[in-house]
Amino acid sequence: MAKAPFDPRASLDELLHTARSRFGEVEFQEVGLSGGPLEILQIRDMTAYIDKIVARAGNSGDVQLPLWAKIWPGSVVLSMYLERCPLVEHGRYLEIGAGVGLAGLILARRGVHVTLTDLEPDALLFCRINALRNGLEQNVDVVAADFTRDRLEGTFDGILGGEVLFRQSMFEPLGAFLGAHLAPRPDAEIVLSVDSQREGIPFFKAVCTDYAIMRQDVPFSDKDSGEQRTACLYRMRRKS
């Protein structure tokens, strides 16, 4: 497990300078939520940035798209649930595959401690920037972690993830990670959001012997295509 790729003492302006040096123009976008908007850093012209890295890669085909930088609909659906769900007072919460950290910051704003994790160094940079921008840094740790192979210290009262079930090879190690880190209390909960078009069903079938699973389908309009789609919200608690 590597260290986060930034100086934890660095100011917001210093971190923004780092982000601009890597991605060009960036900007904060307000994400409207019932508890008030959060300002989330975004790459201003994602298309231009992708064109740039594709051209740089040339014929090698080695292009790492910054998929973590997008605010996915499933993450917004997850965030809407987290605004109103019951929380453990003074609890510890964990977001896996945090991307820009939107869902975890919702919980931090509600007063609990949140650890934001991702395996992408730039995602961790954006998470730290967003925590500082929204004045939530006292409730947020940013940690480099790959849930397919790493382990963290201790357990958590809640574990959340948006759009983390995108590769079937991840399913088994993710199940082991969740089992290792969910607190042994009856109200400890895992909450995962999945685009209904993704292949997440085999994961939930595999873990249903250990967890009681509740599913809620949430329709949304895809802002890029205008199509009506569905995000699936899964809540998981250990069976007694």
Q: Domain map of the chain by residue range? A: 68-238
The answer to whether the Cα torsion of 13, 134, 33, 167 is positive or negative is positive
Look at the block and give the residue holding tokens 């085999």. Answer: 202
- Mean of the per-residue pLDDT values of the chain: 91
Q: Which of 76-80, 139-143, 164-168, 218-222 has the highest mean pLDDT?
A: 139-143
pLDDT over 90 (residue 221) = no
- C-alpha 36/C-alpha 18 separation (Å) is 28
Strand positions, DSSP E, the chain: 26-31, 38-43, 92-96, 113-118, 140-144, 158-162, 189-195, 211-221, 228-238
Q: What is the pLDDT of residue 61?
A: 64
- C-alpha 174/C-alpha 172 separation (Å) is 5
Look at the block and give the residue holding tokens 């991840």. Answer: 170
Contacts of 52 (CB under 8 A, 6+ apart): 24
Neighbour tally for 35: CB within 10 Å: 12
Q: Indicate left, alpha or beta for 97 from its phi (over 0: left) and psi (-120 to 50: alpha).
A: left
Confidence of residue 85 (pLDDT cuts 50, 70, 90): very high
Per-residue pLDDT, averaged over 80-104, amounts to 96
Per-residue pLDDT, averaged over 211-226, amounts to 84
Pick the CATH number of 68-238 from 3.40.630.30, 3.40.50.150, 3.40.1190.20, 3.40.605.10: 3.40.50.150
Contacts of 195 (CB under 8 A, 6+ apart): 72, 73, 74, 163, 229, 230, 231, 232
pLDDT over 80 (residue 237) = yes
